[in-house]
Amino acid sequence: MTAASPRRLLTVCLGNHCRSPLAAAVLARQGGAAVQALSAGIREKHVGRPAHPLMITAAAACGYDLTPHLGVQVSRELLDWADTVLAMDRNNLAALQDLADERTVPKLRLYLGDQDVPDPWGGDDAAFATVVKLIEDGAARHLT
């Protein structure tokens, strides 16, 4: 008997600089061996760059290490790879719907189901800490 393949979750935000790298780390930790989680961004601005310094700090305060992260832009290949694609907000979801084809559109969802994960970009430490809490609290819905 073989073990079931891990669920492949792709988290997507605007730049793959704040929310989506954290969401992938949270899903990977909470899902354990049952989950593979990757992240990507709609825009290419942060491709190859590390996560936002304030997100690295906020994530570390909760035990997540984002220091290895380097930004990636979402692609059709990543959409094909994923079993589920989790957009951090409605604008990201709309951009993904434009990129997706008829096979991948059914995979698209908002991370928090009916609300956006606010973008902490430009905010203070508290804004980043709030996003960490929202993403942690929202993870379980994708792991059952």
Residue range 60-96, pLDDT digits in tens: 999 999 999 999 999 999 999 999 999 999 999 999 9
Q: Which is catalytic among the residues 7, 8, 19, 29?
A: 19
Supply the pLDDT for residue 118: 98
Is the domain defined by 7-142 classed in CATH 3.90.1150.180?
no
Closest to 141 (Cα-Cα) out of 110, 120, 118: 110
Whole-number pLDDT of residue 1: 41
Is pLDDT above 60 for 2? no
The domain segmentation of the chain, as residue ranges, is 7-142
**What is the pLDDT at residue 99?**
95
Indicate left, alpha or beta for 87 from its phi (over 0: left) and psi (-120 to 50: alpha). Answer: beta
pLDDT at 25 over 60: yes
Active site residue 13: yes
Report the C-alpha dihedral over residues 136, 36, 78, 133, rounded to 10 degrees. Answer: 10
Residue 4: pLDDT band with limits 50, 70, 90:
confident
User: Is 101 among the catalytic positions?
Assistant: no
Residue 129 in this model has a pLDDT that exceeds 50: yes
19 labelled catalytic: yes
User: Which one of 13, 62, 80, 101 is the catalytic residue?
Assistant: 13
For residue 3, what pLDDT is reported?
60
Q: Which of 119, 124, 125, 137 is catalytic?
A: 119
